[in-house]
Amino acid sequence: MKVTEHIAAAQNKTLFSFELVPPQKGKNIQELYDNIDPLMEFNPPFIDVTTSREEFIYLEKDGLYDRKVTRTRPGTVGICAAIKHKYKVDTVPHVLCGGFTKEETEYMLVDCQYLGIQNVMALRGDAMKHQRYFEATNGGHTYAYELVGQIRDMCQGKYLHETLKVSNNDDFCIGVAGYPEKHLEAPSLEFDLKKLKQKVDAGADYIVTQMFFNNSKYFEFIEKAREAGITVPIIPGIKPIAVKKHLQLLPQVFKIDLPEDLITAVDACKDNKEVRQVGIEWCIAQSKELKDAGVPVLHYYSMGKSDNIKKIAEALF
């Protein structure tokens, strides 16, 4: 089923879902299963799987360094297929602009169609480590709305180099990202909402937000998005704080604000074990308020670890 179909079938009941990061290459997939297993009792209708773009590594040879391109994590589509087969749950592979040509994107989408994967998350992706700002891959897309357009065209049989007859089973449900505190590169929230509307107009079916820790930011975002004419479901993305370093890391990387009460509680912790508990308690309270407000899904960024997400889900589902 498609994400939007799951939401409609729930009849205003809040669903549980989560996002995971594929293990690094060389790891056994059982490690991934071990972190999924504890969360399946909460009946997630879908699971997101992130995609990592290429990285540069430098190999020394005869005193010189040769730059090589590598990918540190296995293919997202293969992992989605394995999870779908093992758990009988829908999976949502992330499709990126960065690191992929339009042809590579088409190949990935064709694989998804053959495997019965009906949902994708279309994202621009981040800049590479050596780049200050995002730079489009040669032959790839610059903006997420362009990627959404390619996916939607393909659903209608318009491939890059040919037009084919397609069936309804080839139609993807497309998710995109939204930013309650605006994208870090956007000059204002209003400008960012115009860009979000552009993605929806291109064919996006639903939105998942970046993490936030103050629910008022989400509620204000919803109100402004509706005023801007965005009518698709907007799913809150939630991440529990797990280590004290998150106080500096999350605002720096994602350009988000942390509530003073949360900062004070985390700062008073003696170690990361205490921080993890504070993160769980804050996330439970945050999730309860969102659930009471009738959000369609509570979507958790697990980062491949399930112990804290399990405790949060136990209090809500």
d(CA 244, CA 265): 10
Q: Check if the beta carbon of residue 53 is closer than 8 Å to that of residue 108.
A: no
Check if 5 is active-site: no
Nearest to 274 by CA among 241, 232, 233: 241
Residue 186 CA neighbour count, 13 Å, CB half: 18
Q: How far is the CA of 112 from the CAs of 80, 84, 163, 206, in angstroms?
A: 9, 12, 18, 19
Q: What's phi and psi for 221, nearest 5 deg?
A: -65, -45
- Residue 219 is inside which H or E element, if any? helix 215-227
* Annotated active-site residue in 19, 106, 146, 181: 19
Complete DSSP assignment for 70-131: E-SS--HHHHHHHHHHHH--EEEEEEESTT--HHHHHHHHHHHHHHT--EEEEE--PPPTT-
d(CA 112, CA 118): 7
Structure tokens at 200: 């929806």
Q: Sign of the CA dihedral 7, 10, 12, 15?
A: negative
d(CA 125, CA 122): 9
Task: Report the relative pairing of strands 297-301 and 237-238 from DSSP bridges.
Answer: parallel
d(CA 231, CA 194): 13
Residues tagged active-site: 19
